[in-house]
């Protein structure tokens, strides 16, 4: 039973779990920012190409 209690104490003192969660949250935020930026760039490019196509068609 002492071994189990020692392992539980080690687990509770370990900082690996919270660090992994922090990295996961950071990664999720980076992914969201990247997707938002890509969508914005795509929308702007689409508007530009449509404008050029309209001017060439006239």
Segment 16-31, tens digit of pLDDT: 767 788 899 999 999 9
**Structural domain boundaries, residue 49:** 1-57
Distance CA 3, CA 8 (A): 9
Residue 54 contacts by C-beta under 8 Å, 6 or more apart in sequence? none
- Any idea what the Cα angle at residue 44 is, between residues 33 and 26, rounded to 5°? 5
CA distance 10 to 48: 59
Q: How confident is the model at residue 10 (pLDDT cuts 50, 70, 90)?
A: confident
Task: Provide the whole-model pTM.
Answer: 0.59
Q: Mean pLDDT, to the nearest integer, of 32-43?
A: 97
Q: Per the structure, how many domains does the chain have?
A: 1
Instruction: Give SS3 for 4.
Output: helix
Asked if the model's pLDDT at residue 3 lies above 90, the reply is no
């Amino acid at each position: 039973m002492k071994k189990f209690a020692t392992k539980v104490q080690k687990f509770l003192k370990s900082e690996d779990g919270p660090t992994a969660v922090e990295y996961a949250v950071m990664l999720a935020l980076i992914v969201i920012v990247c997707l938002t930026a890509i969508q914005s760039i795509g929308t702007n490019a689409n508007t530009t190409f449509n404008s050029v196509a309209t001017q060439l068609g006239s």
